[in-house]
Amino acid sequence: MVRLEQYEEIQAQTTLVILSDKKTKLDKSLGEEAIAYNKKFQKSDDKFDFLKGANGFTFFVKSDQKAEELRVIGAKIIAQLSKDVKSVSLIGAAVDQLNIAEGMLLSSYQFIKYFKDADKKKLGLETVLLSKEVSSKKINELIDTAKAVFWARDRVNEPVSHLNATQLAEAISELGAEAGMTVQVLEKTQIESLKMGGLLAVNKGSIDQPTFTIVEYKPEKAINKKPIVLVGKGVVYDTGGLSLKPTPGSMDVMKSDMAGAACMAGTIYLAALQKLKVHIIALIPATDNRPGLNAYAPGDVITMYDGTTVEVLNTDAEGRMILADALAYSNKFKPELVIDAATLTGAALRAIGTKASVIMGNADDKVFDQLERAGNEVHERTVRFPFWDDYATEIKSSIADLKNLGGPNAGMITAGKFLEHFVKSPYIHMDIAGPAWLDAKEDYKGQGGTGAGIRLLFNFLKKYK
């Protein structure tokens, strides 16, 4: 990962990023050419430009831009750099430097481990240098954020041939050891003893074992007397089961169906690294969904962890089956808030695309407002959908307590109402099916797994009241 460091003074022969406005007076040490070009740039309508001189590139950025605009420019700068550029120094107001640095750092991510010429493809940049006006605390927070997001992206991009449920649990355990969290991994026999029927049913078609991972971060003097529980969908690969998906544009990217698990594991990891004063528990049910062996079938009736019976109408609605067991398990902690994250429905993607996550639930409006503000600040936006009880009628079964599929419309909401049934605490459901995976490169979010939800939830927890 690209390093972030502070500089005492600008070094000669370095690539510069100058954030300025019309009132900015640049130091003469930057050279007459850069000073003259900056004056010309400030008179133009351009927001971003660059000058190629004898010492390499100097980038010019107008500082009167929103945080997200600066992050995107940070990604543009990364795209412009040649492989021989090893360091870049930022000049400007501290908050502007941080926004540019965030865009640069997040866009420096690469998943190239399976290329035989990976060394040739590797980004040349090694260090981004910020001025001493930028606090070490803010720099460390940005470094930890990138570590968590990159970890999540790596997991989402990893093919199932290298990341089954057991390997996901092992990766989460490594996070716990690093960040001082307690991690307990339940294996199949323990899951059977708990009678987690949803997780076991989805796993019946697979030769790989399911796991249920419990992560706890409990700081001294936490501000919350009851924990916040984060639940992440960990379907490491989804064929759809016997309700088999088509391959093009669907099954071929279903290694990403554990993005909710990556999000929640990454969030609690980041909270622990940053030593937030919030007691958090993360629950990660994990399995793949295959059509083999004794795979569960449409028409089956499954008894869940809490005793609820569910009629299976579609085995491709498997995420809600494993989440339901985990959500019911959360009740034992008597949490003050439960949030889940899942790449749950195509309906959410079709409704709002990749630009935001769909959220809904029964938590207090104030909590939803806090979550929305937190998302807007980091540009991981949310759109709240209605959660009326009318929708719950669509998941009533004629032969069991519930069915795992609603009608043809509002699928993201009926899925949320299904999950709500299993939670006794205030609840928020996040459907991240849109932003969790990008088929094409998009600014600092990259291509493939994005790590969506981590920056949003960390910012929410950091300011949690």
Model pLDDT for residues 246-293, shown as the tens digit of each residue: 999 899 999 999 999 999 999 999 999 999 999 999 999 999 999 999
Instruction: Scan for tokens 């069915």, then name that residue.
Output: 403
153 is an active site residue: no
Between CA 191 and CA 171 the distance in angstroms is 19
Picking from 454, 252, 456, 436, the residue whose alpha carbon sits closest to that of residue 355 is 436
Picking from 364, 394, 463, 384, the residue whose alpha carbon sits closest to that of residue 429 is 384
Between CA 310 and CA 329 the distance in angstroms is 17
Write down the catalytic residue from 47, 138, 245, 424. 245
pLDDT at residue 54, rounded to an integer:
66
In the chain, the percentage of residues whose pLDDT exceeds 70 is 99
Mean predicted confidence (pLDDT) in 349-376? 98
Write down the catalytic residue from 320, 403, 417, 445. 320
- Indicate the pTM of the whole model: 0.98
The yes-or-no verdict on residue 55 having pLDDT over 70 is no
What Rg do the C-alpha atoms of the chain give, in angstroms? Answer: 24
pLDDT in tens, 68-101: 999 999 999 999 999 999 999 999 999 999 999 9
The yes-or-no verdict on residue 321 having pLDDT over 70 is yes
290 is an active site residue: no
The yes-or-no verdict on residue 440 having pLDDT over 90 is yes
Cβ-Cβ contacts under 8 Å for 7 (sequence gap 6 or more):
89, 129, 130, 131, 132
pLDDT at residue 10, rounded to an integer:
85
Q: Is the dihedral of CA 275, 276, 278, 280 positive or negative?
A: negative
Picking from 376, 337, 352, the residue whose alpha carbon sits closest to that of residue 432 is 352
The yes-or-no verdict on residue 56 having pLDDT over 80 is no
Distances (CA, A) of 322 to 13, 164, 452: 55, 15, 21
Instruction: Scan for tokens 């040649």, then name that residue.
Output: 82
Mean predicted confidence (pLDDT) in 394-405? 98
